[in-house]
Structure formats: structure tokens, C-alpha cells
Amino acid sequence: MMPCTLSESQTSREASPGNGGRCLAMSSHGVPFRLRAESSILLDLMRQQAPFGSVECADLPPHARTFALECSGSEQQYQVRIDDQVLVTHEELDSALIQLGGHMMIHVAEYAPDYVFLHAGAVAWQNRALLLPGASHAGKSTLVAELVRCGAAYYSDEFALLDSRGFLHPFARELRMRRPGSQEQTAILLEQLNGRCGTHALPVAMVVFAEYAKCAMWAPEAVTPGRAVLELLLHAVPVQRTPVRVVATFTAMMRGATAWRSQRGDAPDVARSLLRALVQGGAPA
Amino acid sequence: MTSTLRPRNIQADRLNLQAIGTETLIYDERTHKAWCLNHSACCVWRLCDGQNTIAEIADKCAAELCSPISEEFVLLTLTELQQQDLLLADSITGLGPSISRREMFGRLGLAAAALLPVIAALTAPPAEAQNGSVVTGNAKIRRLQGILAVQRARQGSPFR
């Protein structure tokens, strides 16, 4: 990341000539990007949607992607644009902002030069990292919250960041959980869970593919390292762009890790099993 | 018929191979398809170079795997490799039906069942497929939307 201190004289927020709008230069995990909006209010709302860890910058390289939010005509519809291509149009501003935030996040996750972004929950217990790969709605956040409640250090409920050694780095955005049957996410403070954030890079000890299913029985089966790497590809954001790097990262990670698969029911019992297995080794039964 | 076959695996230049313990991960950068082969399957696959016959593949695999490998075993593996598009189709025309996995398991016995070829495959998704952004309501933003609408009305024209 490129931290910088803003002052009025710096050009990170500047009028974009020709359209009366405003621009903001930002960077997240080594990926530069630009925000553009017609007003300062919109620009601030867009900045709030920027990926966790984003900082404002003074300069941008020419190739930096531009994310813009524009109001189209008198219908008051909001267009989300990426590099001047209209991506989607919404009548509701909050819908447009959330879509924009999602696309910014994926852009950073795909192009981050120093990390492989894996769609996974991640915690650590006694200096051993546990990854919970899974798509949205798989129940990652619920299980992560329970693990944190049990004392694990919180690394992320959405993306596990892995370096070239396969070590886990924190991406400790605010935990967000959905109520059963609802699409809406609610932010959960770590303090509410008596939790703490992880701060150091750690080797991964265990990867668990655990998708929630009501009344499912927890019965983990071992997954071979090769099969684990294969399945991890389904959740790796940059895999199509840099497959060799992604496969090498996962291979390095799995040298020291075990992998398991099971459907799971309610989180509390599963969380305790996982933490026990992290320390003792063996199946997280 | 099969004794004259010289199977050939798909072209290597677009494939990335990664050894993971005794397994091998293959990634096709053109189609973004990926496979994980166990030791047996990979052994047979690598020997499908367009030169080796079925019998020669069996002999060479037996040496590498330190276990007797029959031509029927190779044919079973070739069938599974063919089903996963890991072999050039025109190099295995006339392959014919092979022994089933169940029958092969019965012949090998439990101790040698780990030799059975295992091939898993999937297609890696594009980055956008990981975008889990969900549209939800937000009262605060709706209020701001109203404020912005008023501002635009006062300015008298849509933004250019």
C-alpha cells in the first residue's frame, strides 16, 4: 500500500476537466484505481465503498482503472462505469454503490501483485492458520464469528490473502453476517465477540471445505493436497489471469497443511472441533 | 486393435504442470480447465507420447509404480483420461470398452486399490464470478439520494 497524507494542495481530489465532476486517486494492496463522480457527496459515498485497506494517493499510473458513478438524465438513474464502459444502471443509489464496491473489490483482488486473494474465511489459533474457503452464502462469516468467539484471532470473513510462501496475511475488514433467510448483511464488531485481530503472517495448518446445510452431520473426510489445490482454484480470484502463480502459491501452502471436507450444521460445535484439531492435529471430528 | 494404439496426450505447450506430493495438477491456460491426477493416472498420461504402445505403457508404469500393471489397467486409465479430454482423440480411435473400475478393484484387491487411477477436473472461474456483492436497502443512502435529487433540480440540468 502507498500511504500518503492529504493536504488541500495535493491533487488526489481534483476537478475532472470537461465534465464538472470530481476524481479521487486511491490504492489498495498495490493496485491503483481512480474514483470519479459528479459531486463531492457522491465521491465520498464511493470512497466509503472502496476495498478494505484502500488509501488515497497523490499520483496514479496511466493504466489505473477508473470507477465512475453518474446520474443519467432526468430519470435519476445511477450508472456504474468502469473505464467509461457502462456496467450497470440502478434506480437506487445504494444498489449502485454496492455494485460499485463489489467491482472495486474484485479488481483489487484480481490484480494485487503480492497476494493471491482467496474467497475464504480465515482465523488463527496458537499461531496456526485455518482457512474456510467458500462462495458467498456458504456460511463462512457465521463460522468465523464462532471461531473468534472461542478465542481464535480474526483474519478475515471474506478473503484470505496468501503470499508466495503460502502464508496467510490479515484482511480484517469488519465482520458481516446475514440473518437466516435474509440477503442483508449486518456488521459485527470484534468487541461484540470478545475477539481480536490477527496481525502477523502465519503458515496455514488446515484448510476446511465446510458448507452449511441445515441439520447436516459434521463428518470430515480427508482431502489430498492435490485435490485441495484443485478445489481452491474455484475460490481464487486471480486464477484465470495468473494461473501459474496461483497454483504455485496453493502448492506451497499445502506443503504444511491438511485439508478436510464436510457439510456442517450449527457453528458452535464445529468451531470447537476445528480449534482442537488445529492444535492436536488429525481430523477435526 | 488396441495393441497397435499409441496414445498421445494433449499438447503440452499450453499446459502448466505442478507436482503436489505424488499428485499432479494440470492447468490448461487456454480453456482454464484444471485436473488433478493421482500417481497412477499421471504415470500413464505422461507415457502417452504417441510412441509407446499399450503394452509398453504397462511395462513402464509397473517399473515406476513398483507394482504389476496390466494392459487392462492401462486401458481403464486411458478411458478415464479420454473422458476428461486429456488425450488426443485421434490417437485413441478404436479404444473400445474397458474393464470397469469395480471389476478392476476386484482383481487388484483392497491392498492395491490405491493404484486405481483418480482424475478430478473442474473449470476455474473468472474473477467476476467471485463478486458476491448483494444489493440491499440502506435508509441513509436513500436519504442522500433524495438530497442529491434536490441539488440537481436546483442546478437545473442533468450532469453532462
Q: Is A229 in contact with B132 (Cβ distance < 8 A)?
A: no
Burial of B71 from C-beta contacts in 10 A (0-12 / 13-18 / 19+): middle
Is pLDDT at B110 greater than 90 in this prediction?
no
Tell me the pLDDT tens digit for each residue of B17-57: 999 999 999 999 999 999 999 999 999 999 999 999 999 99
Which sign does the torsion angle of CA B83, B85, B87, B92 carry? positive
Q: How far is B4 from chain A (nearest CA, A)?
A: 33
Q: Chains A, B: CB contacts under 8 A, how many?
A: 147
Does position B103 have pLDDT exceeding 90, yes or no? no
Interior angle at CA B51, CA B46 and CA B53, nearest 5: 85
Contacts of B32 in chain A (CB under 8 A): 239-240, 243
Inspect the interface and report whether the beta carbons of B23 and A226 lie closer than 8 Å: yes
**Beta-carbon separation of B133 and A185 below 8 A:** no
Domains (range + CATH), chain A: 13-111 (no CATH), 116-280 (3.40.50.300)
Quote the ipTM score.
0.87
Query: Higher pLDDT residue, B151 or A160?
Result: A160
Looking at beta carbons, which residues of chain A come within 8 Å of B136?
94, 98, 183-185
Helices (H), chain B: 39-47, 54-65, 71-83, 101-108, 139-155
Q: How far lies A147's CA from each of A87, A127, A171, A181, A219, in Å?
A: 38, 14, 16, 22, 18
% of chain B beyond a pLDDT of 90: 55
Helices (H), A118-223: 140-149
Closest chain B residue by Cα to residue A244: B16
- Give me the pLDDT at residue B153, please: 58
**Which residue of B14, B16, B18, B20 to mutate against A (max A Cβ within 10 Å)?**
B20
Q: For chain A, which residues score pLDDT lower than 70?
A: 1-20, 73-75, 179-184
Among partner residues B25, B29, B133, which is closest to A102 by beta-carbon distance? B133
Q: Which residues of A touch B151 (CB under 8 A)?
A: 39, 41
Tell me what pLDDT residue B159 has.
35
Residue B30's alpha-carbon distances to A42, B12, B94, in angstroms, are: 40, 12, 28
Mutate to test the interface with B, among A48, A93, A105 (most CBs of B within 10 A): A93
pLDDT value at residue A10:
36
B131 inside 8 A of chain A by CB: yes
Whether the Cβ atoms of residue B73 and residue B60 lie closer than 8 Å to each other: no
The pTM score is: 0.87
Contact A119 B130 (CB under 8 A): yes
Length of chain B counted residue by residue: 160
Query: Rounded CA gap, A141 and A270, in Å?
Result: 13
pLDDT of residue B2: 54
Chain A: closest CA distance from residue B100 (Å)? 23
Starting at the edge strand found earlier in the chain, the sheet holding B23-28 runs B15-20, B23-28, B33-37, B119-123
Lowest mean pLDDT among A176-185, B63-72, B98-107: A176-185
Task: Judge: A226–B35 Cβ closer than 8 Å, yes or no.
Answer: no
**Total residues found in chain A within this entry:** 285
Q: Across the interface, which of B21, B133, B148 has its CB nearest the CB of A41?
A: B148
d(CA B113, CA B103): 11
Instruction: Identify the closest residue of chain A to B23 by CA–CA distance.
Output: A226
The pLDDT assigned to B151 comes to 61
Helix (H) and strand (E) counts for chain A? 6, 18
Indicate yes or no: CB of A238 within 8 angstroms of CB of B147. no
CB A91 within 8 A of CB A80: no
Partner residues linked to A117 by β-bridges: A161
| Cβ A204 vs Cβ A255: under 8 Å | no
Asked if A247's CB is within 8 angstroms of B18's CB, the reply is yes
| DSSP character at residue A131 | E
Pairwise CB contact (< 8 Å): B160 & A20: yes
What b/e readout covers A110-146, taking b as 16+ CB neighbours within 10 angstroms? Answer: bbbeebbbbbbbbbbbeebbbbbbbeeebbbbbbbbb
Domain ranges of chain B: 2-126
**Cα distance from B3 to chain A (closest Cα, Å)?**
32
Q: Is B151 within 8 Å of chain A by CB? A: yes
Written as one letter, the residue type at A96 is: A
Determine which of B13, B135, B147, B157 to mutate to test the interface with A (most A C-beta atoms within 10 Å): B135
**Measured distance CA(A109)–CA(A103) in Å, rounded:** 10
* DSSP code of residue A277: H
Select from B20, B38, B120 the Cβ nearest to the Cβ of A254: B20
pLDDT (tens digit per residue) in B73-97:
999 999 999 999 999 988 888 776 6
Give which of A240, A249, A250, A254 to mutate to test B binding, by max B Cβ within 10 Å. Answer: A240
CB A25, CB A50: distance < 8 Å: no
- Domain spanning B2-126, CATH class: alpha beta
Task: Report pLDDT for B119.
Answer: 94
- B150 in contact with chain A, both atoms CB, cutoff 8 A: no
Q: Looking at the partner chain, which of A39, A103, A183 has a beta carbon nearest the beta carbon of B136?
A: A183
